[in-house]
Chain A
Amino acid sequence: MGSMTLYVEKNSIIHNIDPLTKLLYVFVSIAATYIVPAHEFVLLVAAFSLLLLVLGKVFVKILPIIAISIILIISIIIVQGMFHPDNETILFSVGVITFYQEGLSYAALLTLRVINMLSAFGVLILTTKPDELIERLIKKGMSPKIGYVFLSVLQIIPQMRATMAKITDAQRSRGMETEGNLLVRLKAFFPLIGPVVLNSLNDTRERAIALEMRGFNTKGKKTFLNESQEYPYRKVMQLLLAAGLIAAIMWRILL
Chain B
Amino acid sequence: MSIVDVEGLKYKYPDTDKLVLDDISFKVEKGEFIGLIGRNTAGKSSLCFALSGLIPHFFKGAYGGKVLIDGAEIKQHDMGEIAANIGLVFENPFSQMTGSKYSVYEEIAFGLENIGIEREKMISRIDESLELLDITAIKDNNPFDLSGGQMQRVAIASVIAMRPDVLILDEPTSQLDPQGSAEVFKVVENLTNEGITIIMAEHKMEKVSQYADKVLLLDNGKIIDYDTPANVFSRDDLLEFGIAAPVVTRVAKALGIKDAQSGEYPVTLAEISRENW
Contact surface of A with B, Cβ cutoff 8 Å:
1, 3, 131, 144, 147-148, 151-152, 155-156, 159, 202-203, 206-227
Contact = CB atoms under 8 A, between A and B. Distances in A.
A214 B92 contact: no
Contacts of B117: 223
Contacts of B94: 159, 203
B83 A213 contact: yes
5 contacts: A1-B145, A152-B98, A209-B54, A222-B116, A223-B117
B111 A212 contact: no
Nearest to A144: B114
B114 A210 contact: no
Nearest to A159: B144
Contact of B95 (A131, A151, A207, A227): A207
A225 B122 contact: yes
B119 A212 contact: no
A216 B92 contact: no
Nearest to A205: B95
Interface string B105-135: 1100111111111110011001000000000
A203 B94 CA distance: 8
A159 B106 CA distance: 19
Pairs of residues from A and B, 5 with the lowest C-beta to C-beta distance, nearest first? A218-B80, A214-B111, A206-B95, A151-B100, A215-B114
Interface centre among A147, A151, A211, A215 (most CB of B within 10 A): A215
B52 to A, nearest CB: 6
A215 B161 CA distance: 12
Given A203-B95, A214-B83, 17 more contacts: A151-B101, A202-B95, A209-B58, A209-B88, A213-B52, A214-B111, A214-B114, A215-B80, A215-B83, A215-B114, A218-B116, A219-B80, A220-B116, A221-B116, A222-B116, A223-B119, A225-B112
B158 to A, nearest CB: 6
B228 interface: no
A203 B99 CA distance: 12
B92 A206 contact: yes
A148 B100 contact: yes
Contacts of B52: 213
A212 B94 CA distance: 16
A151 B145 CA distance: 17
